[in-house]
Amino acid sequence: MSLAVPEKQQVRLVFLGAAGVGKTSLIRRFLLDAFDPEHRRTVEELHCLEYEERGGPKVRLEILDTSGSYSFPAMRKLSIRRGDAFALVYSVEDAESLESVRSLRAEIAALREDRLPPVVVVGNKADREAERKVSAQQALATVEGEWGGRHVEASAKENRQVLEVFRQLLQQIDVPGRWSPALRRRRETIPKEKGPSKPPLNKTNSCSIC
């Protein structure tokens, strides 16, 4: 599904998923090209980036990192109502986290009953093959076969397919078409998988809310 937002000058990507699946790690890898192996409990963090089209308006991109705890249902519902696109993250070493994705997708559909917004399901920790509990085939059968949605397996630790997660989200809300040619060319030089490390984006503004 593609949701064009030609007049929208603010776009919010929301990362949802169970605790410990690596939502923060994916965002941190994308923004800073860094990885922290220690898990730190997130309540809510909002990262803000700004782009300016040549001769056009500025576009504000917001990335909301949400809590994996279901102790904050009101905050989660507010995040769902305000999001433009969603990354539903599970860990390939935790089958229950994929079931959490199923519940979250159902909640998004219920709260946004007029139209299901763009969703990308992300299987993180794909580098941990020895501990894998969710096969790629199993996830694809659910996400693409049952839901007709988009699925990406990624590894924040190895910087594998992280950029692809964001590309898929932004493509569905037509943000790439609003980037300047220079910024698009710079993004296209970043390797999709392993390769020389360079920060995917320059973070012009960042804010945290607790």
- Percent helix, strand and coil across the chain, each to the nearest 5: 35, 25, 40
Q: Could you tell me which residues come within 8 angstroms of residue 17 by beta carbon, excluding any fewer than 6 positions away?
A: 23, 68, 87, 88, 89, 90, 97, 100, 101, 104, 122
The type of residue at 166 is F
Cα 178 to the chain's mean position, in Å? Answer: 19
| Region 176-198 average pLDDT | 43
Q: Is 4 part of a structural domain of the chain?
A: no
Q: What is the DSSP string of 51-114?
A: EE-TTS-EEEEEEEEE-S-TT-HHHHHHHHHH-SEEEEEEETT-HHHHHHHHHHHHHHHHHTTT
Q: Is 1 part of a structural domain of the chain?
A: no
pLDDT at position 136 is 95
CATH of the domain at 199: 3.40.50.300
**Does residue 68 contact residue 17 with C-beta atoms inside 8 Å?**
yes
Tokens 């990308």, residue? 120
Measure the CA–CA gap between 125 and 93, rounded to whole angstroms.
7
**Does residue 42 contact residue 23 with C-beta atoms inside 8 Å?**
yes
pLDDT tens profile 5-26: 445 578 999 999 999 999 999 9
pLDDT band at 185 (very low <50, low <70, confident <90, very high): very low
Q: Is 5 part of a structural domain of the chain?
A: no
When divided into structural domains, the chain yields a total of 1
* pLDDT of 203 above 90: no
Measure the CA–CA gap between 69 and 61, rounded to whole angstroms.
25
Q: Report the range of poorest mean pLDDT among 51-60, 76-85, 108-117.
A: 51-60
| pTM check: above 0.85 | no
Q: Is 105 part of a structural domain of the chain?
A: yes
Measure the CA–CA gap between 108 and 92, rounded to whole angstroms.
22
Q: Is 57 part of a structural domain of the chain?
A: yes
Q: Is 3 part of a structural domain of the chain?
A: no
Q: Is 30 part of a structural domain of the chain?
A: yes
Q: Domain range spanning residue 182? A: 10-208
Q: Could you tell me which residues come within 8 angstroms of residue 203 by beta carbon, excluding any fewer than 6 positions away?
A: 31, 32, 47, 49
pLDDT tens profile 40-73: 777 789 999 886 656 666 778 899 999 887 667 8
Q: Is 176 part of a structural domain of the chain?
A: yes
**Does residue 43 contact residue 72 with C-beta atoms inside 8 Å?**
yes
